[in-house]
Amino acid sequence: MPQPFFPNAIVLAWAFYAALVSITLLAAYTDLRYLWIPKWLTLPTLAVGVVFNLVLGAWTDGPRGRFLMGGDGGFAGALDGLLLSLTGFATGFALFFVMYVLGTCKGGDVKLFAAVGAWVGPMVAIYLLAGTIFAVVLIATGRLAWNMATRGFHSTYKNYTLAAAPGGKKAQSRTTRRRLTAYSPAVALSAALVLLWIFGVELHVRPAKVTQAAQMARR
């Protein structure tokens, strides 16, 4: 698991969490409402993530406890934070680019997850991807079940397969199918729950684990 991210500052931890979850929720809204995730959202998100980790690294001994350089703040710490952010960006981009090549997501999804990776670093990005995939399956299954219960099998089949395309227009039906498996709501759900668990100690929503050595020291 990642090392502590924040320098014992609960306000900073909650601000980070609230900002990133809000960004992913906004991306989900624009995606579901307009079927696209705008660059005016993803590019500033990327820039802020890089700057945040760079500043945090310069302020402390590096985000998440010395990612690569092991700097004690200052220039080395800033470089540590920059490397964490850039490798997080690369990890997020690579993971979603594979799905983009396979045709399961759009370019906006790739940009969004790459920008999120710049905030959290490579390891947390992998956890977020696992949570996202689980959320995609959960949301798609729930929507299918709801539609089958309220509209019946035949209507559900037409809405979420190529049979839905009037006049054989496959592009429109692919849009309908993408609404079933949209990644942006799953990214938002994953960010809200996975980050709450990973940063739970720093957010003071779950207790810290006490090591056996610490228990012995207290006796």
Sequence ranges of the domains in the chain = 10-205
Average pLDDT over residues 59-86: 69
CA–CA dist 199, 205 (Å, integer): 9
pLDDT in tens, 97-134: 998 998 888 899 999 999 999 999 999 999 999 999 99
Are 27 and 19 in contact, with CB atoms under 8 Å apart? no
pLDDT (0 to 100) of residue 144: 76
CA–CA dist 215, 213 (Å, integer): 5
Are 74 and 58 in contact, with CB atoms under 8 Å apart? yes
Tokens of 4: 């502590």
Are 63 and 122 in contact, with CB atoms under 8 Å apart? no
Indicate whether 135 pLDDT > 60.
Answer: yes
Q: What is the pTM of this model?
A: 0.80
Phi, psi angle pair for 68, to nearest 5°: -125, -50
Instruction: Using alpha carbons only, give the angle 106, 122, 96 rounded to the nearest 5 degrees.
Output: 15
pLDDT (0 to 100) of residue 32: 87
SS3 assignment, position 182: coil
Burial class, 76, CB count within 10 angstroms (exposed 0-12 / middle 13-18 / buried 19+): middle
Tokens of 195: 């980050």
pLDDT (0 to 100) of residue 211: 42
CA–CA dist 107, 57 (Å, integer): 30
